[in-house]
Structure 1
Amino acid sequence: MRPTSTGLRIRLRLAPGQEPADVAASAERLRHAWGVHGVYVEPVKPGVVELRLVGFDVLRRVRMPRKAGGGFLRVPVALREDATAFVRDYRAIPHELVLGATLSGKSMYLRHLITGLAAQPVALAGIDCKRGVELAPFAPRLSALATDAGQAAELLPTLVQEMEDRYDLIRARQGIAPSTPDEEITSDVWGLPESERPVPIVLFVDEVAELFLVASRKDEERRDEMVTQLIRLAQLGRAAGIYLEVCGQRFGAELGKGATMLRAQLSGRVCHRVNDEPSAKMALGDIAPEAVGAACTIAPERPGLAVVGDTSGGWSRIRTPYLSLADAAAACERTAHLVPDLPALKPFRPASLTKPRPPA
């Protein structure tokens, strides 16, 4: 038994024939019996589970734990309802879909991700078809930024070529024949020596639906090319150290050809408040159907509250703490000197890039 700032943690040894699911099924009854806000069950090892008793609604006023579990390509971005940190781990879940209506908290979630990655040896690239209003404040730390569909149509092939060059590097290092298809290469850049390993790239796509909208046949051809390139990055990018963070208000089959295939590759899902149940189903229905109802009950007066799930079927409620745009932009300016040297992305460096500050 161990007291915490939010409640109590108790470890229980299971009786013969019991399993963690038996204890989890009793969590609601235990919550009422003990008069606490929530009881959460976590397996520790075979035969032992931990009960996390939370005495109040920790998502009402978010305070991140001091030991949040960050690290390389790991960003503590929000607080779970069981008072533990939700860590966005790109090595474990390389690609993620973030959905939410206007003023639901998507931008706050994005700010925490960018500021968390800004201090790491990672290249950040962005596609923001709202003329860059969401991602332009972070320009000092971005290696590439596309602010409309035309620029995105040029940036995406460059990223695909960068991915293919990294596959060639893996082949050369491991003696794989150059004619081997990318899909048959099972290793990745993390198997390369650190001196030869290319820097990871995280691509943020804001308002992904803008890439699917077309007004003419010419635009339709460009759209098909961009979607194909996004799908290739989602399918093959992980092994090359390229990760996707795709954001939007709605993301379903009605967007057009390739939307469902792209969504299927985004194994991480974060659903903020949405305008209708079908939007919640687009985010969570295919991985955690029972989470759809929880997403539909998010109140407008609680921005930043979201339901997060993954392809394992697990889900939980999280809430992102407040981070002002000015503070996030300042963090990116302080870390501008960490922008890695990627020659392929130099033509896409934001024009508003300020002079990098030397390290303190």
Structure 2
Amino acid sequence: MTWLIVAVVLVVAAAGLLRWRRPAWYWMTFGVTLATLRVLVRYASVMDACGLTVPPSRWRLALARAANRPMPGPRAPRILRIRPTRTGLVLRLKLRPGQDAFDVAASCDRLRHSFALYGVTSRELRSGVVEVRMTGYDVLKRVQMPAKTDTRPMRVPVALREDGSVHYRDYRAVPHALTLGATESGKSVYQRNLVAALASQNVALVGIDCKQGVELFPLARRFSALADNPDTAAELLEALVSHMGDVYQLIRAEQRITADVPDAEIAADIWDLPDHLRPVPVVVLVDEVAELALFATKEEEKRRDRIITALARLAQLGRAAGIYLEVCGQRFGSELGKGITMLRAQLTGRTAHRVNDESSANMAFGDIAPDAVLAAIQISTDMPGLAIAGDSTGGWARIRAPHTSLRQAVNTCNRHADLTPDLAALAPFRPVLGVPAPADAPAVESIPATA
């Protein structure tokens, strides 16, 4: 008995230590079993307490009376499947007649408390079937991406969601996106993850970094075109508009609209073209959009109008031509001038990191998901990288990108530098590599830090 007590104490101590220091390991060793048993044992009573039950049907009551048996109690949704994952549990429920998926979604907080889990979310798979995802610990505190992800062409993993699933950036489903975030909010790390994930794909990367290129130029070996000032950016965007027109001419020439061609094979965008004719898709990353919209003189105002007009054209027409926009900034609203609101309406995907004021969150989600505005302004400064991701459907989720240093992103881009395509329209903007600093460059004196 003494040795048995010692073994039990050691196991309990090990479980407590793992839960404190390594919650993911604790979940895989102890937590998943305990949580599964807790859910199965408490399921009926919890559903009844949360109001997720329905009275027994009339024929069951009549059968109980006829057989002189006890009256049946209320019925909870039927568990179709319970599946443990590396971050939690996934329940698939079959709703009873009279129940709605909204009832389950409204009870997620009560389910989280009743089952003693970290988080609970739900979504409707089809009529009458709801998937409830439960997380056993805070997966966003220390982001660990799974080893295997569902990566496809133009669909890359960039972050982890609060329910433990992977957040993907799917350009064919959401062509254009807006990313907002204050200084030191993790916006640059999110952008690095996106570039690093796209580096291994057959795609042309185009960057506009008006901070003299300090964010994107270290990744230049994987970029087909780069601009580090508004003047070059205006010319680059106009070149992209011209390239878009050439791609549409190619699609027109290869539409195959004769009567003997099936409807599914008629070309309407680059993805309907044969592989040997399909142009390389282009992803345009704008690091700070406000620098493109601000002006102080008449000449700068003309340049600004050219830039916003080109961006709006790419946002409205670029999807079919395989041109996708990733617009980043600290603020993005009507105070940046005419055309900005029209451009924002074309940016379907919305991601907001920590913002400095509520109006910035309203710029991202006020017109598509008002509930996400409150979640965005509640992001604290001690969680860099935490963000709210939403789209035009009104759904949103908390995400956090894994920390990727600039050196890691540079190494990834250098490793895939041979995949960088050469586009004739963008040849004048191809970054020049290995050029030493000019002799007349100003010297920057290094000032040692003081205690």
Please give the TM-score of this superposition, normalised by the length of structure 2: 0.75
Report deviation, 1:175: 6.4
Separation in 1 of the partners of 2:137 and 2:219? 36
Unaligned segments of structure 2, at least 5 residues: 1-81, 258-265, 436-451
How much has 1:47 moved relative to structure 2? 2.2
Q: Give 1:263's match in structure 2, choosing from 332, 340, 344.
A: 344
SS in 2 for 1:261: helix
Aligned counterpart in structure 2 of residue 207 of structure 1, from 274, 279, 288: 288
Alpha-carbon distance between aligned partners in 1 of 2:131 and 2:114, rounded to the nearest angstrom: 17
The one-letter code of the counterpart of 1:257 is: K
Describe the SS at the equivalent of 2:243. helix
CA distance in 1, matches of 2:191, 2:233: 19
Rounded to whole Å, the distance in 1 between the matches of 2:123 and 2:353 is: 25
Residue 179 of structure 1: aligned partner: none
Q: What TM-score does the superposition give when structure 1 sets the normalisation length?
A: 0.94
Instruction: State the distance in 2 between where 1:53 and 1:282 align.
Output: 31
Secondary structure of the equivalent of 2:365?
A: helix
CA distance in 2, matches of 1:353, 1:238: 34
Paired residue for 2:242, among 149, 153, 161? 161
Q: Secondary structure at the match of 2:356?
A: coil
Q: From 143, 146, 167, give the equivalent of 1:86.
A: 167
Deviations 1:33-59 (A, max 9, x none): 111111111223332222111111111
1:253 matched to which residue of 2? Answer: 334
State whether residues 100 and 106 of structure 1, in contact with CA within 8 Å, keep that contact through their aligned partners in structure 2: yes
Q: Distance in 2 between matches of 1:333 and 1:38?
A: 39
Aligned to 2:422: 341
Deviations 1:12-53 (A, max 9, x none): 111112222121111111111111111111223332222111
Aligned mate of 2:229, from 138, 144, 148: 148
1:53-76, Cα deviation, whole Å (9 max, x unpaired) = 111111111111233322111111
SS of 1:225's equivalent in the other structure is: helix
Matched, 1:225 2:291: no
Equivalent runs, 1:125-140 vs 2, <5 Å = 125-140=206-221
Q: Distance in 1 between matches of 2:380 and 2:299?
A: 41
SS in 1 for 2:399: strand
Residues in 2 aligned to 1:290 and 1:8: alpha-carbon distance in whole angstroms: 25
Correspondence 1:275 to 2:351: no
Q: In the alignment, does 2:123 pair up with 1:42? A: yes
**2:256–2:267 contact (8 Å) kept in structure 1:** no
* Residue 353 (structure 1) shift: 6.1
SS state at 2:225 partner: strand
Determine the C-alpha separation between the residues in 2 that align with 1:316 and 1:305: 11
Bigger mean CA offset, 320-329 vs 34-43: 34-43
Moved over 6 A (4+): none
SS in 2 for 1:9: strand
| Among candidates 75, 87, 90, match of residue 6 of structure 1 | 87
Could you say which residue in structure 1 is the equivalent of 2:407?
Answer: 326
Q: C-alpha distance in 2, partners of 1:51/1:80?
A: 14
Partner SS state of residue 243, structure 1: strand
Deviations 1:76-135 (A, max 9, x none): 100000000000000000000000000000100000110111100000000000000010
What fraction of aligned residue pairs are identical, expressed as a percent?
61
Higher RCO (C-alpha under 8 Å, 6+ residues apart): 1
CA distance in 1, matches of 2:298, 2:274: 46
Tell me if the contact between 1:139 and 1:353 (Cα under 8 Å) persists in the aligned partners: no
Structure 1 unaligned blocks of 5 or more: 177-184, 355-360
Q: Distance in 1 between matches of 2:131 and 2:240?
A: 44
Asked whether the equivalents of residues 273 and 305 of structure 1 are also in contact (C-alpha less than 8 Å), the reply is yes
Once the two structures are TM-superposed, the CA of residue 334 in structure 1 deviates from its matched residue by: 0.8
Instruction: State the shift of 1:186 in Å.
Output: 8.9
Aligned to 1:292: 373
C-alpha separation between the residues in 1 aligned to 2:297 and 2:291?
A: 14
- For residue 78 of structure 1, give the secondary structure of its aligned residue in structure 2: strand
Aligned-partner Cα distance in 2 for 1:214–1:23: 51
Indicate which of 49, 55, 66 corresponds to 2:147.
66
Other structure's SS at 1:12 match: strand
| Residues 168-205 of structure 1: per-residue CA shift (max 9 Å, x gap) | 111111268xxxxxxxx992111111110100000000
Q: SS in structure 2 opposite 1:294?
A: helix
Aligned residue for 2:254, secondary structure, equals: helix
Closer/same/farther in 2, CA of residues 54 and 158 from structure 1, 3 Å limit: same
Aligned length: 346
Aligned CA distance change for structure 1 residues 199 and 353 (closer, same or farther; 3 Å): farther
> CA separation in 2, counterparts of 1:153 and 1:136?
18
In structure 1, C-alpha distance between the alignment counterparts of 2:138 and 2:171, rounded to whole Å = 28
**RMSD in angstroms over aligned alpha carbons?**
1.5
**Distance in 2 separating the partners of 1:42 and 1:290:** 16
- 139, 142, 157: which one aligns with 1:76: 157
**Shift of the alpha carbon at 1:352?**
2.2
Residue identity opposite 2:269 in structure 1? D
Matched, 1:235 2:316: yes
For 2:255 and 2:273, the matched residues in 1 are separated by 9
Which structure's CA Rg is the greater one? 2
